Chain A
Amino acid sequence: MAGYSAMAGVGQGFRSRLTARVIYIRSAGGTAVALVQCDLLSGSRILHHKIASLIAGKTDVPARGLLLAGTHTHSGPGNYFSSNFYNICGKTRNLRMDAYRANFEDIVDRGPDPLNAVNPVMTMICVHLLNDKDWYRPAGAFSSFSIHPTAVPYINAYYSADIFGYIAKSLETRLEKNYNTPWSMIHAVVNGTHGDNSPNYVTEVQRLGHGPLAVYRLLPGP
């Protein structure tokens, strides 16, 4: 498990499937780009170069057109290329607001409400495809959101997409149902900047699950 020092080398099954979602775009006469979201702890320069090398002869996506971003699930594989670096040095703390309050009560009391101090914005790009009836239908969305997305506790030996899996799946399911899309909708949601405190396991995760649909409704429709 990536980032779980105590669970390094353990992966006894899965709770939810890990996924890589790809959005390919090429404008007329332009360079092809592939936006790739992976249910991994992070992107990786080594991994990026490896993938770019593998697809160079098979696609028109150049290395500079390949974006590889992770969701920062701690319940996914790590130790890329057998390196145990993160598991040795990156002991996850998974801090809670209660611990923060206990340690820095004075600071919290003088500042803004800590639960509302940070309000990250979800940025979304939506892709619509033209079907054989000349109707546009949503096919995919690429979103970026800043959160430390670890709701699954560290005593865990099963792979899980964690919060971003929920955020991704909720929009996919709703749009497929609402638009009756002839294809499987994908929502590639990736992690932006993040601190090291985790969201509330139930309420905050549910709020995040419903958030993408609200963002999508702000975009120009098909």
Chain B
Amino acid sequence: MNMSIKYLRAVCLLWLMVITAGCAGMHTERLVIPHDAHQQAAPISPQRTVAGVARIDITPPPRRAMAWPGIPQWREWGRVFAAG
């Protein structure tokens, strides 16, 4: 069999394994649904509604360009080949 087809098949199989593992991990993750433990807490002010607002920065830190774990994005391939 042509080597390039073999290589392509191996890469496809590897990706499929990664995807399967990712999906399986997502579904088997154990979730803890909390009980309403604080329902009996005394109100801060019985006379009026209590309200508050908040704003939180959730910008993530920059990430290196990676299409898949361990596999660089297309724009990175040039550097990979250049590095040998």
Within 8 A of A (CB), among B15-53: 19, 22-23, 25-26, 29, 31-39, 41, 43-53
Q: Which B residues are CB-close (under 8 A) to A107?
A: none
A25 to chain B, nearest CB (A): 5
Q: Which A residues are CB-close (under 8 A) to B35?
A: 56
A51 to chain B, nearest CB (A): 10
Q: Quick check: is A214 within 8 A (CB to CB) of the other chain? A: no
Listed residue (A29, A31, A83) with the most chain B CB atoms within 10 angstroms of its CB: A83
Q: A9-B68, A62-B39 are in contact. Are A17 and B57 (CB under 8 A)?
A: yes
Within 8 A of B (CB), among A183-213: 183-186
Please determine whether A8 and B54 come into contact, CB atoms closer than 8 angstroms. Answer: no
Please determine whether B55 and A186 come into contact, CB atoms closer than 8 angstroms. Answer: yes
Q: Quick check: is B11 within 8 A (CB to CB) of the other chain? A: no
Please determine whether B46 and A29 come into contact, CB atoms closer than 8 angstroms. Answer: yes
Please determine whether B22 and A28 come into contact, CB atoms closer than 8 angstroms. Answer: no
B61 to chain A, nearest CB (A): 8
Within 8 A of B (CB), among A9-36: 9-14, 17-31
Q: For the complex, give the distance between the alpha carbons of A26 and B50 in Å.
A: 5
Q: How many chain-B residues does the 8 Å CB contact rule pick out?
A: 41
Q: Quick check: is B12 within 8 A (CB to CB) of the other chain? A: no
Q: Quick check: is A64 within 8 A (CB to CB) of the other chain? A: yes
Q: Quick check: is A57 within 8 A (CB to CB) of the other chain? A: yes
Chain B minimum-CB-distance residue to A33: B51
- Interchain Cβ contacts within 8 Å, total number: 140
Q: A17-B57, A18-B58, A28-B46 are in contact. Are A23 and B51 (CB under 8 A)?
A: yes
Please determine whether A29 and B43 come into contact, CB atoms closer than 8 angstroms. Answer: yes
Q: For the complex, give the distance between the alpha carbons of A62 and B36 in Å.
A: 5
A164 to chain B, nearest CB (A): 14
Q: Which B residues are CB-close (under 8 A) to A77?
A: 60
Q: Which A residues are CB-close (under 8 A) to B46?
A: 28-29
Q: Quick check: is B56 within 8 A (CB to CB) of the other chain? A: yes
Q: For the complex, give the distance between the alpha carbons of A96 and B17 in Å.
A: 36
Please determine whether A19 and B57 come into contact, CB atoms closer than 8 angstroms. Answer: yes
27 residue pairs bridging A and B, Cβ less than 8 Å apart: A8-B67, A8-B73, A9-B66, A10-B66, A13-B62, A17-B59, A19-B55, A20-B55, A22-B54, A22-B55, A23-B53, A24-B50, A25-B50, A28-B48, A39-B58, A46-B26, A46-B29, A49-B33, A50-B31, A63-B33, A63-B36, A81-B25, A81-B26, A81-B29, A82-B22, A85-B26, A159-B59
- Spell out B's residues near A (CB within 8 Å): 19, 22-23, 25-26, 29, 31-39, 41, 43-60, 62-63, 65-68, 73
- Spell out A's residues near B (CB within 8 Å): 8-14, 17-31, 38-40, 46, 49-50, 52-53, 56-57, 59-64, 77, 81-85, 88, 127, 129-130, 139-140, 157, 159, 183-186
